[in-house]
Amino acid sequence: MSKVTVFMPVYNARSYLQEAIRSILNQTYKDFELLIIDNCSTDDSVSIVESYNDTRIHLVVNNENIGLAGSRNKALEICDSGYIAFLDADDIAMPDRIRTQVQYMDEHKDIAAVGSYSATIDGYGNGKDMFRPQLLNSNYIRAYMVFNNAIANSSAMVRKSVLDNNNIRYADNCYGVEDYKFWCEVIKYGDIANMGEILLKYRVTPGSITAEANSYRLNERKRVIKEIQKNNIDFYGFKFPDEELNVLLDVFEED
């Protein structure tokens, strides 16, 4: 059993998959396994993964497409490491990412998960002059999370025990805000932190969920976000008349 499982979901990811895999295999920290779950890709993603002769790679190919949330939950059931780190198949981890986050988690037992700053890149790997800072103070993160996500999923490392002890998994049918809902559950049982250094290159391409979404999906996405926000407000014990609550939810819409 490795101390860390890095989980990478894959679906038709051939364009950037090799870069993502190399960024993990070349980590300065070595005690990890790379769990890759392919969700019925129709391109040569599986062949790309199989071309690596590295015992740290564990490839699972789904028999049917179970969606992103389904693949992530399957990974959470499979892995038995103390820490789980996430990386999407089009993003790039900086060389010291795993080592830096493991050291932080080892030293901060009260932290359930940790993310980091990220730098955005385009489809060619070039910088987009967009720096993505995150809140660093755990109390600020907790407050901010009531209405917005404060952790970049591809930069995150979480304690497996927090997930298992509290039955936390990814929800389906969230129209691209599965991460926000997931981290809102995690923060109920422990603090979330961010590291003030760039440990991730986050790829932004025209094929993002919001770029391709039709009006129905966008409306459903807004509905799910409002449901998450309402649940957060209830969890922390705030009470508002319906009129005031609706104003708050309108003010804190996505974007």
Query: Three-class SS of residue 164?
Result: helix
Query: Three-class SS of residue 216?
Result: helix
Let me know the angle formed at the C-alpha of 157 by 56 and 122, rounded to the nearest 5 degrees.
85
Residue 212 reports pLDDT greater than 60: no
CA neighbor of 6 nearest in space, from 99, 98, 100: 98
State the average pLDDT over residues 23-47.
Answer: 96
Tell me the pLDDT tens digit for each residue of 40-57.
Answer: 999 999 999 999 999 999
State the average pLDDT over residues 158-186.
Answer: 94
**Radius of gyration of the chain from Cα atoms?**
18
Q: Residue 131 has what pLDDT?
A: 64
H-only helix segments in the chain: 17-25, 45-50, 67-78, 97-107, 138-144, 160-165, 178-186, 209-212, 215-235, 242-251
Structure confidence at residue 130 as a pLDDT band (50, 70, 90)? low
pTM score: 0.90
Residue 208 reports pLDDT greater than 70: no
Structure confidence at residue 209 as a pLDDT band (50, 70, 90)? very low
Residue 132 reports pLDDT greater than 80: no
Distance CA 209, CA 222 (A): 13
